[in-house]
């Protein structure tokens, strides 16, 4: 069941992203030819109005085909005009080889020519109207709105998911109750799990205040991993209702990126309810952290440690599936992360990503005239290579992770 739920979650993200493009395009008057879930030739399809809806065989995303995304594309109306014009020319050539004017066969040919001419005129009028609605003939602001609508939907989905989780679960607030004590750590012989740290050097208050005070105890020489502070911290703990004063020398640690003196204990946390506004603030903060982290990883893709952080849709699907198997809340959180990541990656300024289309539309506005399509094509090749590189690295990391210890969602 978790596999089905994960699949449906991904399908929902794809449909909603493309629905953003679709709705915006319709709103500004562009012609949408096709709305497809998944890639490849459509296996199932139906037409409503001027738009064809369908499902492809390859679950690698989806797309909305808007007339005129490629200025060189030929309209179906133009193709039909060319075919009918050929038929008309053939009829006229045949007429010249037929019996004298006024014969029954010539009259029949004349009637056919008139019908073809009328149909060609009708198609030409339709083609002119469609070209007026084509993407490349729209104002820059309309093009930007249509392109940004997809990532905007992903951002909105992520915000709503993070907000709902924060509002329903509350905020995790760290306290000074000792949860674990590091074996052979600075406090192993002094502090017990369940103790409450009341103060350090007379400084009391929040967990952050306690940690900051511990951090003031520096090593005598260079601050290197496992060096012991030159001065002891005076730690007051509450144990079984009694206050106990301890002298503990913090130890400098570089583990997990801490890079600070620590007592070697971990503190507990409590869930506290939050208001609607606070939940929105927490959602925004979470999104900002993920955004900066994602951009940092992609920007430093050639650094070995950062490169290992990249993953593809395979990892995302597996993480979502495992999350649904353990916790619905965690599964939705993972979907929120994926939705946000899709928005961020899509906004990178490389064709064929959404950000690439926005970049060239804005460049056209600044330049004051159209960018040659050949220039965008060459830039698109570079963008495609970069996207392929990111995908290959991500997939390679997925294979390493999934064939090794696994994701480890609990």
- What's the pLDDT score for residue 86? 78
Question: What is the number of domains present in the chain?
Answer: 3
Question: Which among 239, 272, 305 is the end of a domain?
Answer: 272
C-beta of residue 162 within 8 angstroms of C-beta of residue 333? yes
Q: Where are the alpha helices (DSSP H) in 98-139?
A: 104-133
Q: What is the pLDDT of residues 209-219, one digit of tens each?
A: 998 999 999 99
Q: Is residue 54 part of a domain?
A: no
Q: Where are the alpha helices (DSSP H) in 197-327?
A: 207-214, 276-299, 304-307, 313-326
- What's the pLDDT score for residue 193? 93
- What's the pLDDT score for residue 409? 45
CATH at residue 233: 2.30.42.10
Per the model's pLDDT, the better-predicted residue between 69 and 213 turns out to be 213
Helix (H) or strand (E) holding 51: strand 51-55
Q: Do residues 253 and 298 share a domain?
A: no
Confidence of residue 384 (pLDDT cuts 50, 70, 90): confident
Confidence of residue 98 (pLDDT cuts 50, 70, 90): low
Is the pLDDT at 169 greater than 80? The verdict is yes
Distance CA 284, CA 266 (A): 27
Averaged over 392-408, what is the pLDDT?
Answer: 55
Averaged over 299-315, what is the pLDDT?
Answer: 58
Q: Is residue 112 part of a domain?
A: yes
Q: Do residues 119 and 229 share a domain?
A: no
Per the model's pLDDT, the better-predicted residue between 71 and 153 turns out to be 153
Q: Do residues 308 and 377 share a domain?
A: yes
Q: What is the pLDDT of residues 76-96, one digit of tens each?
A: 777 888 887 877 777 777 666
Question: Which among 272, 303, 329 is the end of a domain?
Answer: 272
Q: What is the pLDDT of residues 115-140, one digit of tens each?
A: 878 788 888 888 778 888 889 889 99
Averaged over 170-185, what is the pLDDT?
Answer: 88
CA atoms within 13 A on the CB side of 276: 0
Average pLDDT over the chain, rounded to an integer: 82
Both structure tokens of 286: 């979470």
Q: Is residue 23 part of a domain?
A: no
Question: Which among 272, 302, 318 is the end of a domain?
Answer: 272
SS3 string, 185-220, reads CCCCCCCCCCCEEEEECCEECCHHHHHHHHCCCCEC
Q: Do residues 313 and 344 share a domain?
A: yes
Confidence of residue 187 (pLDDT cuts 50, 70, 90): very high
Per the model's pLDDT, the better-predicted residue between 55 and 270 turns out to be 55
Q: Do residues 253 and 315 share a domain?
A: no
Q: Do residues 125 and 95 share a domain?
A: yes
Q: Do residues 213 and 128 share a domain?
A: no
Q: If DSSP codes are grouped into helix, strand and coil, which group holds residue 95?
A: helix
Provide φ and ψ at 372, rounded to 5°: -55, 135
Which of 112, 172, 106 has its CA nearest to residue 329? 172
Q: Is residue 389 part of a domain?
A: yes
Q: Is residue 218 part of a domain?
A: yes
Q: Is residue 59 part of a domain?
A: no
C-beta of residue 172 within 8 angstroms of C-beta of residue 248? no
Range of the domain at 284: 276-403
Instruction: Spell out a b/e string for 207-238, using b for 16 or more CB atoms within 10 Å of the CB, else e.
Output: beebbebbbebebeeeeeeebebeeebebbbe
Express as a percent the part of the chain with pLDDT over 90.
Answer: 36
Q: Do residues 341 and 305 share a domain?
A: yes
Q: Is residue 21 part of a domain?
A: no
Burial class (CB in 10 A: 0-12, 13-18, 19+), 123: buried
Q: Do residues 192 and 105 share a domain?
A: no
Q: Is residue 2 part of a domain?
A: no
Q: Do residues 214 and 101 share a domain?
A: no
Q: Do residues 385 and 302 share a domain?
A: yes
Which of 296, 276, 314, 289 has its CA nearest to residue 400? 314
Averaged over 272-291, what is the pLDDT?
Answer: 91
Helix (H) or strand (E) holding 88: helix 76-97
- What's the pLDDT score for residue 16? 93
Q: Do residues 347 and 295 share a domain?
A: yes
């Amino acid at each position: 069941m978790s596999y089905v739920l994960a699949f449906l979650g991904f399908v929902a993200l794809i449909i909603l992203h493309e629905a953003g493009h679709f709705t915006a395009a319709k709103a500004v008057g562009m012609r949408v030819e096709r709305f497809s879930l998944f890639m490849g030739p459509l296996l199932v399809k139906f037409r409503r109005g001027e738009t064809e809806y369908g499902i492809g065989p390859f679950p690698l995303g989806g797309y909305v085909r808007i007339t005129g995304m490629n200025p060189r594309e030929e309209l179906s109306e133009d193709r039909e005009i060319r075919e009918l014009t050929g038929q008309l020319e053939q009829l006229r050539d045949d007429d010249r080889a037929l019996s004298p004017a006024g014969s029954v066969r010539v009259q029949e040919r004349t009637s056919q020519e008139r019908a073809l001419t009328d149909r060609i005129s009708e198609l030409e009028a339709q083609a002119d109207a469609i070209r007026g609605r084509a993407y490349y003939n729209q104002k820059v602001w309309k093009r930007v709105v249509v392109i940004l609508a997809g990532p905007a939907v992903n951002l909105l989905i992520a915000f709503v998911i993070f907000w709902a989780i924060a509002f329903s679960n509350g905020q995790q607030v760290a306290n000074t109750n000792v949860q674990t004590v590091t074996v052979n750590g600075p406090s192993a012989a002094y502090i017990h799990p369940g103790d409450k740290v009341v103060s350090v050097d007379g400084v009391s208050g929040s967990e952050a205040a306690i940690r900051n005070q511990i951090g003031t105890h520096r090593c005598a020489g260079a601050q290197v991993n496992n060096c012991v502070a030159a001065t002891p911290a005076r730690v007051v703990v509450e144990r079984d209702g009694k206050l106990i004063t301890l002298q503990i020398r913090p130890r400098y640690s570089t583990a997990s990126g801490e890079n600070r003196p620590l007592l070697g204990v971990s503190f507990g946390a409590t869930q506290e309810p939050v208001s609607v506004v606070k939940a929105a603030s927490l959602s925004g903060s979470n999104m900002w952290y993920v955004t900066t982290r994602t951009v940092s990883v992609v920007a430093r893709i050639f650094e070995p440690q950062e490169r290992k952080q990249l993953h593809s849709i395979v990892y995302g699907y597996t993480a979502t599936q495992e999350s649904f198997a353990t916790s619905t809340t965690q599964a939705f959180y993972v979907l929120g992360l994926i939705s946000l990541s899709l928005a961020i990656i899509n906004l990178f300024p490389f064709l064929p990503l959404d950000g690439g289309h926005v970049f060239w539309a804005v460049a056209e506005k600044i330049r004051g005239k159209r960018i040659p399509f050949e220039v965008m094509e060459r830039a698109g090749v570079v963008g495609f290579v970069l996207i392929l590189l990111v995908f290959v690295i991500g997939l390679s990391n997925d294979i390493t992770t999934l064939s090794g210890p696994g994701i480890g969602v609990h």
